[in-house]
Amino acid sequence: MKDGELVLLYSKGESYIVSAGSKDMHTKSGVIKLKLLKGKKFGGEIKTHLGKKFVIMKPTISDILEKKAKRLPQIITQKDIGLILAYTGIGPDSNVVDAGTGSGFLTMMLANYVRPGKVVTYEKNKKFAKVARMNIKASGLGKFIKLKQKDVLKGIDEKNVDLVTFDFGGTEKAVKHAYKALRPGGWLAVYSPYIEQSIKVVREIKKKNFSEPKTVENIVREWQSGIYQNDVYTRPKTVGLMHTGFITFARKIGNGK
């Protein structure tokens, strides 16, 4: 394990992402000396000064986003990102443009899947761009991401793109730029928290030579199980996430601009 390498310390009900070799970390179960990680391997263990064991794991991109990245409000969720991956079928070496970087969660997830390909992401808000830069650096995916602090409503510089993703207010005004940037057969995926925004985007998409737009919402229902009076019981969790956003998908037909 090299100094600065990201490490997931994991035990039941408690886990942390840390940098190997950095300063002592204070947890609710005691102090962990991160210097000691240096000699260890993934799969090994480290103890707090109170004796609680943590397993040393290699973090996935989902771990890093969940535990390490700084969140701005309204982050696109993993379920919605998964849907974008699966519907559009992008993969390693795909060519992606993302606009409305925010804290960079979608950017980083996309970068994880297209690497060694690249994601170019547009963010006009200076403060958001700063947060995103920090998060991207922490994720270790920096070389697969190019962040442009720029208003996407002024145009997209890239050409022959496999996927354009939008997540900002006023996305309908950028549909024409996406059309121009996409390769024939390339996908546009627009995330809209409000139905009015989704309706406007659908209207703009219909004006261009796209496939029939498809708007979906994705509801993940979590179940729980336990033991009550010697019986197993299983039921969906009482309260949960009822809505994140509407996602509109369309595919460029033809080779026009």
210 and 180 in contact (C-beta within 8 Å)? no
Query: Cβ closer to a second copy: 7 or 148?
Result: 7
Closest CB 61 distance from a second copy, rounded Å: 4
- Helix residue ranges, H only, 20-67: 61-67
**Residue 44 in contact with a second copy, rule: CB under 8 A:** yes
**Residue 237 in contact with a second copy, rule: CB under 8 A:** yes
Cross-sheet strand order for the sheet of 45-47: 14-19, 6-11, 53-57, 45-47
**Residue 233 in contact with a second copy, rule: CB under 8 A:** yes
Cβ-based burial of 248 (10 A; exposed 0-12, middle 13-18, buried ≥19): buried
Distance CA 93, CA 225 (A): 41
Distance CA 93, CA 141 (A): 14
Query: Cβ closer to a second copy: 30 or 169?
Result: 169
Site for a second copy, residues 56 to 75, rule: CB under 8 A: 56-65
Here the tokens at position 104 are 């960079």
Judged by CB under 8 A, which stretch of 6-14, 19-27, 31-39, 127-135 contacts a second copy? 6-14
Site for a second copy, residues 176 to 195, rule: CB under 8 A: 183-185, 193-195
Distance CA 201, CA 173 (A): 8
Print the binding letters for residues 86-105 with a second copy: x by CB under 8 A, - otherwise.
Answer: xxxxxxx-------------
Query: Cβ closer to a second copy: 4 or 185?
Result: 185
**Residue 113 in contact with a second copy, rule: CB under 8 A:** yes
**Residue 130 in contact with a second copy, rule: CB under 8 A:** no
**Residue 30 in contact with a second copy, rule: CB under 8 A:** no
